[in-house]
Amino acid sequence: MCPGCSRKYLPRDLGPRFWARRRSPPPPAMAPGCLLLLMGVSCSLVSSIRGAFLEPDQYVGLPEGWKYAGRVSATDQILLTFALKQQNVYKLNKKLDQLSNPDSSQYGKYLSLDQLSRMIRPSDKTLQTVWMWLGNFGVHNCSTVQTLDFLSCFMSSSTAEKLLTGSKFTRYTNGHQTVIRSLAKYEVPEGVSEHIDFVGGVHRFPAKMAVMSKTWKSGPQIKANFHLGVTPKVLRKRYNLTASDVGSHENNSQAVAQFLEQYFHQLDLAAFMRLFGGSFVHRTKIDNIVGHQGCIMAGLEASLDVEYIMSSGANISTWVFSNGGRHESQEPFLDWITLLSNMSSIPWVHTISYGDDEDSLSVAYLKRINNEFMKAGVRGLSILFASGDAGAGCREIRKGVNTFRPSFPASSPYVTTVGGTSFKNPFQITSEVTDSISGGGFSNVFKMPNYQAAAVKSYLKRMKSLPPGSYYNAAGRAYPDVAALSDNYWVVANLIPIPWVSGTSASTPVFGGILSLINDRRFQKGLPALGFVNPLLYKIQKNGTSGAFFDVTIGCHYGCLDEKTEGKGFCASVSWDPVTGWGTPNYPELLKMLLA
């Protein structure tokens, strides 16, 4: 038996020098120790501490639009986030099932952050092992969160490269933003690997943004026609919100989170409401900005999110989480996730227009982020994600062979995912049809949750023509869950009204605001928040006749541009479908069902 191949790791037996000895990273292509042994390579070639890749399947190529921007010096500071292994994840899952199942006696009996911490905090062994490992490399400048399951530490780049064997930190830029990342995979000692899910700040680049305006894209040559355009007045009319459907409970709150280097201006909100506000009572400012807001130009996405969540969720206290990335080596989305575990008092509804290709993310990362959504759910938070703007998406597996490309977090079973629609007649407030960009499909990683199984199976059975089976995983979590208009919004940014803003980033805050209004009414009746609402949503729709949603039955979204699918992904149909979910909200009926 080769001693280096022992699976055992005993932190107390290994002095600091032992850790420090493994200085030079192994050649990146070299397989971990035991593999070499199996291949007949002498064990003396293998370092005496075996490493383990935490994220062997993470995509580490340079994403489109980014380029090399210079070396990182040995003393430059890197901020790494260690996701420590949680305890009782199974129990957490069970708990969420109970708290969000309307038929359970536990329904709505949400946990405080303290109670959650007691359930899932890492074991003492995990905490000791990781702290000792870091301490042995002189890493002490760390901060943790209330649940103790994330640890963010500053260290020099040379220390980071020693700690994470194989990593090599470099600067990259996309023209607006510079980040530090490693395009080479990292290993941690095997004894440590069982205590960490993944390390943040190494590989993942900031994800692409979703929203766009046709005017911004194609320049001013597009002529205005007398197209309707979506404003708060139009939305409120379509979704049957009357002037008295505004929030009034003092403890209600909602939030938008966003991760681009862009900001929102209070003055834009005032101008927007003046121009498009109509006659409902609304707030004129944001109550809390978490993160930093620069003084630079307002961004389209930021303005859109704020202006529309405050139009449907009118007169409700609104927060903005602004995480453009405080530090070059940070993952902005992860920064937001860790913040949630560090704030005991936090808004009830969060809408987020963000997504990445599921296949580009390691399974370890996907699963852990999914745990984070469960943590939010047991606290009674509703987390809504945009379903994405690429329809079913498309990925070329090899030459001429395509498959659809699901997006994450849209594909997480523990968030509510919002797709997009357009007016059937763009000149009037009419019924809605599929917006062909509306993201939808099936996860390749998460299996279909029980709450949706009947609805999804019924869709798959009902449809006469479906894309070829090799394009999607019919046993996976299917999304979106619901939808709202996503086409031709008006937004005010930098005091300028901008037309034709489109994307599921528009539908998401609209739907989120409506859930907030329903929370408001629930609080007034002494009921708990909606929290993770999917089990309840699928239940009220069980018979397909609740009237809570305007069912969208017309249109298909985009998929792959190939002959096999003729450019189509999935098509909408009566009842639930993976293009527009259950459809768009009919507020009075939805309220009735969700108050019952």
Ligand X SMILES: *[C@@H]1O[C@H](CO)[C@@H](O)[C@H](O)[C@H]1NC(C)=O
x-or-dash string of contact with ligand X, 545-564, rule CB under 6 A:
--------------------
Give the residues across from 172 on adjacent strands: 68, 179
252: its two tokens:
């209600």
- 301, 520, 551, 577: the catalytic one is 301
Give the one residue of 136, 214, 539, 553 binding ligand X; rule: CB under 6 A: 539
CA atoms within 13 A on the CB side of 273: 20
Q: Does 518 bind ligand X (CB under 6 A)?
A: no
Residues 222, 226: Cα–Cα separation, whole Å? 13
Residue selected from 202, 246, 514, 594 as contacting ligand X according to rule CB under 6 A: 246
Query: Do you find a cis peptide bond into 102, omega within 30 degrees of 0?
Result: no
DSSP at 549? E
Residue span binding ligand X (CB under 6 A) among the ranges 184-192, 432-440, 459-467, 582-590: 582-590
- Quick check: 593 and 540 in contact, CB under 8 A? yes
428 binds ligand X (CB under 6 A): no
Cβ–Cβ < 8 Å for 313, 347: no
Of the residues 149, 197, 268, 305, which is catalytic?
A: 305
Distance (Å, whole) CA 118 – CA 128: 17
User: Least distance (Å) from ligand X to the CB of residue 280?
Assistant: 9
User: Which one, 218 or 242, has the nearer CB to ligand X?
Assistant: 242
One residue of 6, 48, 77, 128 binding ligand X per CB under 6 A = 77
| CA-to-CA separations, 413 to 107, 348, 450, 561, in angstroms, rounded | 18, 19, 10, 28
Of 317, 436, 486, 505, the active-site residue reads 505
Give min distance, CB of 249 to ligand X, in A. 6
Q: Give the tokens for residue 18.
A: 């032992």
By CB under 6 A, tell whether 344 contacts ligand X.
no
Judged by CB under 6 A, the number of residues near ligand X is 23
- Contact between 586 and ligand X per CB under 6 A: yes
Residues between 271 and 290 that touch ligand X (CB under 6 A): 281
Judged by CB under 6 A, the residue of 248, 266, 494, 553 near ligand X is 248
Per CB under 6 A, which of residues 438..457 are in contact with ligand X? Answer: none
Residue choice 101, 126, 152, 436 for contact with ligand X (CB under 6 A): 152
DSSP string, 432-495: EEE-TT---EEEEEEEPPHHHHHHHHHHHHH-S----GGGS-TTEEEE-SEEEE-SSEEEEETT
Kindly indicate which of the ranges 59-67, 140-148, 445-453, 498-506 contains the residues binding ligand X, using the contact rule CB under 6 A.
Answer: 140-148
> Does residue 19 come out as left (phi exceeding 0), alpha (psi in the -120 to 50 range) or beta?
alpha
Is 242 among the residues that bind ligand X (CB under 6 A)?
Answer: no
Beta carbon nearer to ligand X, 348 or 558: 348
Nearest approach, Cβ of 244 to ligand X (angstroms)?
8
Is 476 in contact with 447 (CB distance < 8 Å)? yes
* Cα–Cα distance for residue pair 431/187, rounded to 1 Å: 54
589 sits near ligand X (criterion: CB under 6 A): yes
DSSP state, 305? H
Q: Binder to ligand X among 24, 75, 279, 543 (CB under 6 A)? A: 543
Pairing of strands 382-386, 349-352: parallel
Pick 36 or 164: Cβ nearer ligand X: 164
* Binding test (CB under 6 A) with ligand X, winner from 154, 194, 453, 527: 154
What is d(CA 196, CA 203) in angstroms, rounded to the nearest whole number? Answer: 16
> In the complex with ligand X, which residue's Cβ is closer, 159 or 338?
338
Among 48, 342, 458, 494, binds ligand X (CB under 6 A): 342
The span from the CA of 564 to the CA of 254, in Å, is: 43
Note whether 519 binds ligand X by CB under 6 A.
no
Which one, of 436, 435, 88, 381, lies nearest residue 253 by Cα?
381
Q: What residue ranges in 102-185 does DSSP mark as E strands?
A: 142-144, 150-156, 169-173, 178-182
**Residue 141, interface with ligand X (CB under 6 A)?**
yes
Candidates 32-40, 98-106, 248-256, 415-423 — which segment interacts with ligand X by CB under 6 A? 248-256
- Please tell me the distance from the alpha carbon of residue 85 to that of residue 368, in angstroms, as a whole number: 9
Per CB under 6 A, which region of 173-181, 204-212, 451-459, 536-544 contacts ligand X?
536-544
Q: With binding defined as CB under 6 A, does residue 315 bind ligand X?
A: yes
Q: Is 138 in the site for ligand X (CB under 6 A)?
A: no
For residues 24 and 270, give the distance between their C-alpha atoms in angstroms, rounded to a whole number.
Answer: 57
Given candidates 218, 251, 344, 428, which one binds ligand X under the rule CB under 6 A?
251
226 phi and psi angles, rounded to 5 deg: -95, 40
Q: Which is nearer to ligand X, 502 or 584 (CB)?
A: 584
| 103 contacts ligand X (rule: CB under 6 A) | no
H/E stretch holding 296 reads: none
Residue nearest to ligand X (CB): 143
Clarify whether 305 is annotated catalytic. Answer: yes
Does 534 help bind ligand X (rule: CB under 6 A)? no
Nearer to ligand X among residue 236 and residue 568 (C-beta): 236
3-state secondary structure 181-211: EECCCCEEEHHHHCCEEEEECCCCCCCCCCC
By CB under 6 A, residue 250 contacts ligand X:
yes
Q: Provide the annotated active-site residues.
A: 301, 305, 505
Q: Which residues bind ligand X (CB under 6 A)?
A: 77, 141, 143, 145, 152, 154, 240, 246-248, 250-251, 281, 315, 338, 342, 539-540, 542-543, 586, 588-589
